[in-house]
Amino acid sequence: MDGRTAKQSVENSKNRSDEARAARLKERLEALLREAASVEVELSRADGSIVGVPHYSVIENRAHELGQQLSRRVQQQQMNELAAGAEQTAPCPACKTRWPVKIKKRRIKSVDGALELCETVAHCNRCRRDFFPSPGDVGI
């Protein structure tokens, strides 16, 4: 087997491994969503949000609220993980001098409601300005 064939073989193996992992994660997510739906149905009856035979819009609204909660949690976790993985310093966009990067919490309003997330922020003493390095820019 030559070098190119060996490299392709390794890449194919990695792709199959990634695909298998993605399939397992999708199955796990589906199971968790089924469980969340089941808990929501039980909760809506236990807390009196749904009594008897409700209008479909009541069921739909509760489902949308659950979806929005999930969306906010995903947004929060994604942003927190990005901030946690940021470099310790980042270059100022104007003068290119590197400055320490801090993680700050910030409240935002997403289309699915308000949430608090972490973001990276740095301050350039030379330019006297804050800048917000994105993970793709940090370390360049």
Has this prediction a pTM greater than 0.85? no
Nearest to 128 by CA among 81, 85, 80, 94: 94
Cβ atoms of residues 140 and 91 within 8 Å: yes
Nearest to 137 by CA among 110, 99, 111, 104: 99
> Phi/psi class of residue 64: alpha, beta or left (left: φ > 0; alpha: ψ in -120 to 50)?
alpha
Tell me what pLDDT residue 121 has: 95
Task: Return the residue matching tokens 């289309």.
Answer: 111
N residues, the chain: 140
Q: Give, in order, the Cα–Cα distances in Å from 77 to each of 32, 71, 115, 116, 119.
A: 17, 10, 11, 10, 11
Per-residue pLDDT of the chain (140 residues; tens, 9 = 90+): 566 666 666 677 778 899 999 999 999 999 999 999 999 999 999 999 999 999 999 999 999 999 999 999 999 999 999 999 999 999 999 999 999 999 999 999 999 999 999 999 999 999 999 999 876 544 43
* Domain chopping of the chain, boundaries: 3-131
Local structure of 5: helix, strand or coil? helix
Tell me what pLDDT residue 16 has: 87
DSSP label at residue 130: E
Cα–Cα dist 87/95, whole Å: 18
